[in-house]
A = this chain, B = another copy of it.
């Protein structure tokens, strides 16, 4: 049973009618529903939002979370640095993290990657095609090639990220741009997956193939047994300290 916390900024949904029309209970609710739909009893999903105390991400919640998903856009700056640091520590300790769409500019993503995470964009409802470039990757399992998303915001290169540890998907847009929109990173003991499809203006989180990708990514990012050797705080190691 993978314990998932779906975090939503929850601003557009409350302030813009056309977004509410697509996501009446918020984007986080749609994302959570998608995980439930695809994974059923294999996951236990809860949601948390910016507006809750500590943004709903207390130490207790994080301790109880295997994989956290993150959607933000309008209010990145309102996320408390204390919470960001807490999430970073959790990821380095092994919690999985899915960063979605405009979350590329979230404090947590920039802090984990170290780069500006900037990109090019255009919001004209273009068709996005999401191509699998690593067909044996578990996140690509059962995903159409390509995923066809009729209307999306364009995200284009250059995307200022470190070279991904695994590149799974590359998108093209009607206007001709390309984007490395499905990227895996390993940081500390944690697995991070960035997935670009998913703007508030389009019903992308109702798209079955997008739901499938997110479900696959949750399973991929969930912490496994792992091995010895991690050291949180640079211990002095006398000769023969060897761990059994």
Query: Does the CB pair B158–A231 fall under 8 Å?
Result: yes
Quick one: given A167-B167, A177-B131, A239-B122, are A231 and B172 in contact (CB under 8 Å)? no
Query: Does the CB pair A232–B116 fall under 8 Å?
Result: yes
A121 to B241, CA, bound (A): 11
Of A12-20, A34-42, A184-192, the one touching chain B: A184-192
Return the CB mask of A125-146 against B: 1 if under 8 Å, else 0: 0010101111111111111111
Query: Does the CB pair B145–A227 fall under 8 Å?
Result: yes
Query: In the assembly, how many copies of this chain are there?
Result: 4
Quick one: given A229-B132, A244-B144, are A115 and B239 in contact (CB under 8 Å)? no
Quick one: given A121-B237, A135-B227, A141-B224, are A242 and B158 in contact (CB under 8 Å)? no
Among A159, A230, A244, the one with the most B-chain Cβ atoms within 10 Å of its Cβ is A230
A134 to B186, CA, bound (A): 10
Q: Would you mind naming 21 contact pairs between A and B with Cβ atoms under 8 Å apart?
A: A111-B114, A116-B233, A118-B231, A120-B231, A121-B234, A124-B239, A129-B177, A131-B229, A132-B228, A134-B186, A136-B230, A137-B226, A140-B226, A141-B226, A142-B225, A143-B227, A144-B244, A145-B242, A163-B166, A171-B178, A172-B178
In the A-B complex, list the 7 residue pairs whose CB atoms are closest, starting with the nearest. A140-B227, A145-B228, A135-B229, A141-B225, A132-B229, A158-B229, A136-B189
